[in-house]
Amino acid sequence: MSDEFYIKRCLDLATLASGSVSPNPMVGCVIVADGKIIGEGYHQEYGKAHAEPNAVKAVFDAYGKEAENLLKRATAYVNLEPCAHFGKTPPCADLLVKHQLNRVVIGNRDPFSGVDGKGIERLKNAGIEVVSGILDDECHYFNRRFFTRIKKQRPYIILKWAETANGYFATKDGHQKWISGALAKRLAHQWRSEEDAVLVGKQTAIMDNPQLTSREWPGKNPVRLVIDKNLQVPLSNHIFNNEAKTIIFNEIKTDVVDNIHYIQMEDMHFYLAQKIAFQLYLMDIQSVIIEGGAKILSQFLSTNLWDEARIFTSSSSWSDGVPSPNINGNLQETVQVGDDKLSIYLNDIR
């Protein structure tokens, strides 16, 4: 099998931890000896063992005393450079050196300053053959949330909305009226389980009274973020229940009441999108879905603070309503989801 084949297998393994390792990257590791996979592992949960020690452990669990000799003639495949620093776990590069692996094949170099080339250097200094840059673009896109946070000091920002066939986003009178169907709703809940946070503005929180949870998909709930300058959302609304941590960005107070965190910000009418993005970076929130309303979405679009847009278009039309935000990006994919069409855009300027 080719190096590309095993790196793809690393990505398959890493995907199993989607939504569970942030702000760390998703990483898988495959160990091959004599043309056979002898161990696999992936980083399963933030703060716990990384992919490489899990894969090495799998080798010892399967082969016992024979494991040491197998590892000395083995190749380890990993989609991101093995770490070279002490964090919540010991350096993975040191573990591979300890067991004297013959070869290490890497997808991406790690952009984090504590690693960035240091893991590769440590392996090479120990006499281990290192090959890097295998499926580099594919691995980079796979961990685009992590790369965005490290390189741009902000979270990966996903815009999401539904619109009618003739381009309306919401009713003019503010009353809730569903646009997309049941399958689109379930998919949106899956997306929430995969990202760190979901954000809405005050009007959406009041008019739609959303729960902003992943209740129709197995997995974690995201952190709920609400922009409510003057704290006008009623405390009886769903965002104040105990289903998930909720952060209220406002100009009134900073306080913590059970799972509700109030964060005071100054002059929210100036550079709001930039302020929110940087605040989320400081809070180690690596990705966020912005679900409305139209004003909030437009602010992130106008300041070019977005990476991906996911837009459901229904087959029905309205006689009038609030026009949908204008999107200017690279159409990546269009798929049918029940009666709705899903269009996924990537930002051209990334």
Read off the amino acid at residue 252. Answer: I
For CA atoms 241, 247, 249, 251, the dihedral sign is positive
Q: Is 208 annotated as a binding residue?
A: yes
Backbone angles phi, psi at 200, to 5 degrees: -140, 165
Q: Which two tokens stand for residue 329?
A: 């990006």
- What is the distance between the alpha carbons of residues 273 and 306, in angstroms, rounded to a whole number? 10
Q: Is 178 annotated as a binding residue?
A: yes
Q: Which two tokens stand for residue 226?
A: 């609400």
User: Which one of the listed residues 4, 45, 52, 266 is annotated catalytic?
Assistant: 52
Residue 52 known to be catalytic? yes
- Give helix 272-282 / helix 294-302 axis angle, nearest 10°: 90
Q: What number of other Cβ atoms are within 10 A of residue 328's Cβ? A: 11
Q: Is 92 annotated as a binding residue?
A: yes
Q: Which two tokens stand for residue 330?
A: 């690279």
Q: Is 162 annotated as a binding residue?
A: yes
CB 188 within 8 A of CB 346: no
Q: Which two tokens stand for residue 58?
A: 């799998």
Q: Is 93 annotated as a binding residue?
A: no
Three-state secondary structure string covering 217-254: CCCCCCEEEEECCCCCCCCCCHHHCCCCCEEEEECCCC
Read off the amino acid at residue 262. Answer: Y
Q: Which two tokens stand for residue 276?
A: 């929110």
Q: Is 204 annotated as a binding residue?
A: yes
Q: Name the 3-class secondary structure at 140.
A: helix
Give the bridge partners for 311, in sequence order: 161, 343
Q: Is 212 annotated as a binding residue?
A: yes
How far is the first Cα of the chain from the last one, in angstroms, to the nearest whole number? 34
Q: What number of other Cβ atoms are within 10 A of residue 335's Cβ? A: 10
Q: Is 140 annotated as a binding residue?
A: no
Query: How would you class 85 by CB atoms within 10 Å of its CB: exposed for 0-12, middle for 13-18, buried for 19 or more?
Result: middle
Q: Is 269 annotated as a binding residue?
A: no
- What is the distance between the alpha carbons of residues 22 and 148, in angstroms, rounded to a whole number? 13
The binding site for substrate comprises 192, 212, 215, 291
Catalytic (active-site) positions: 52
Binding-site annotation: residue ranges: 50, 83, 92, 162, 178, 192, 204, 208, 212, 215, 291
**Binding residue ranges for NADP(+):** 162, 178, 204, 208
Residues tagged in the binding site annotation for Zn(2+): 50, 83, 92
